[in-house]
């Protein structure tokens, strides 16, 4: 999260009044992340997150917000977008698409144990199953077509060795995407960005997933690969932690068993997840936008993760 668009106390109070969320008591800009303007809001009725969308459009946002609404209604612990008197959950503030959601209790677990990973794996499987009855569709906007479009933009900023790695992996992922095994993978609504800082725990128990604004319709296996690349690695070196990965996948499969094709293509989708975030971090780092509060992530982290996945694939 970041602050690109400044919102005053009075502007936020007037906006919240239209949603019947109580009297505003405090507003604080959130510094983490890089895509949207976010404020933590305390009112007389509770705690909320106010989001002004900087890249996503009014046409794109209904998918994300209605997906969250659908998942919340299906018993998945996710932020539930607040509606106005007309039932609308997508609003406008400072000329930007805007939403307000309840703030999940707890905190992010940045040093997860196998138990934390198992809880995430189980809830991810439940989310995938619940999302199968969601009728709206939108592609993963940070999927393969975006990688193909964005890699040429970042090539001038990287070394010869990095160019070789990123172009080779991009060619491999295009090859995988054209295969019959890939086309047979189970698909549906996925989170696509379920990192440690997008999950909340309280007293050791998972209290919810949030930040669905990279969600889209894609393979469930890509979602799994993204999670394994963050929840189940050594962050300093990118190496896979087998105990945490085993716990995550065992818990996931207690709810939804992986198909034979998913088991075969898991290493490829872990590589895909590493490539996706290496590309996006290169883009954000070298071609940044202005923001009042902004911290760009280190692109070399996911370069290390990708190299590790190439050298030491995790096999089921």
| 118-129 pLDDT, tens digit each | 999 999 999 999
Assign 293 a pLDDT band (cuts: 50, 70, 90).
very low
DSSP symbols for 261-275: HHHHHHHHHHHHHHH
| 59, 61, 65, 67 alpha-carbon torsion, rounded to 10° | 80
CATH 3.90.1200.10 domain position(s) in the chain = 114-311
CATH 3.30.200.20 domain position(s) in the chain = 9-102
State whether CATH 3.40.50.300 applies to domain 114-311: no
Task: Check if the beta carbon of residue 128 is closer than 8 Å to that of residue 190.
Answer: yes
Give the global pTM.
0.92
DSSP symbols for 67-120: HHHHHHHTT-----BPP-TT----EEETTEEEEEEEPPSSB--SS--HHHHHHH
For the cut 50, the answer to whether the pLDDT of residue 37 exceeds it is yes
H runs (alpha helix) in the chain:
9-19, 61-73, 114-131, 144-154, 160-177, 180-183, 220-231, 242-255, 260-286, 300-311
For the cut 50, the answer to whether the pLDDT of residue 1 exceeds it is no
Superfamily of domain 9-102: Phosphorylase Kinase; domain 1 (3.30.200.20)
Dist. CA 270–CA 254, nearest whole Å: 21
């Amino acid at each position: 999260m970041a602050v690109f668009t400044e919102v005053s106390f009075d502007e936020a109070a007037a906006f919240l009044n239209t949603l019947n969320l109580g009297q505003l008591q405090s507003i604080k800009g959130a510094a983490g992340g890089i895509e949207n303007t976010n404020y933590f809001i305390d009112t007389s009725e509770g705690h909320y997150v106010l989001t002004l969308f900087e890249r996503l459009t009014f046409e794109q946002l209904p998918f994300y917000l209605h997906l969250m609404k659908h998942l919340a209604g299906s018993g998945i612990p996710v932020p539930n977008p607040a509606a106005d008197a007309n039932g609308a959950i997508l609003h406008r503030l400072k000329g930007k698409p805007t939403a307000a959601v309840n703030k999940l209790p707890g905190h992010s677990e940045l040093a997860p144990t196998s138990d934390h990973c198992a809880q995430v794996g189980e809830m991810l499987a439940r989310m995938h199953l619940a999302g199968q009855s969601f009728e709206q569709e939108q592609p993963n906007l940070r999927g393969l077509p975006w990688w193909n479009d964005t890699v040429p933009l970042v090539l001038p900023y990287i070394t010869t060795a990095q160019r070789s790695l990123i172009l080779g992996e991009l060619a491999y992922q295009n090859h995988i995407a054209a295969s019959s095994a890939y086309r047979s993978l189970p698909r549906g609504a996925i989170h696509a960005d379920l990192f440690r800082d997008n999950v909340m725990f309280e007293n050791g128990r998972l209290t919810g997933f949030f930040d669905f604004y990279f969600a889209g319709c894609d393979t469930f296996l890509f979602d799994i690969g993204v999670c394994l690349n963050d929840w189940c690695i050594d962050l300093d070196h990118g190496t896979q932690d087998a105990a945490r990965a085993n716990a995550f996948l065992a818990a996931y499969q207690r709810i939804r068993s992986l198909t034979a094709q998913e088991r075969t293509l898991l290493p490829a989708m872990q590589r895909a997840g590493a490539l996706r975030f290496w590309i996006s971090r290169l883009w954000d780092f070298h071609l940044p936008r202005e923001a009042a509060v902004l911290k760009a992530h280190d692109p070399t982290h996911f370069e290390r993760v990708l190299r590790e996945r190439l050298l030491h694939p995790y096999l089921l």
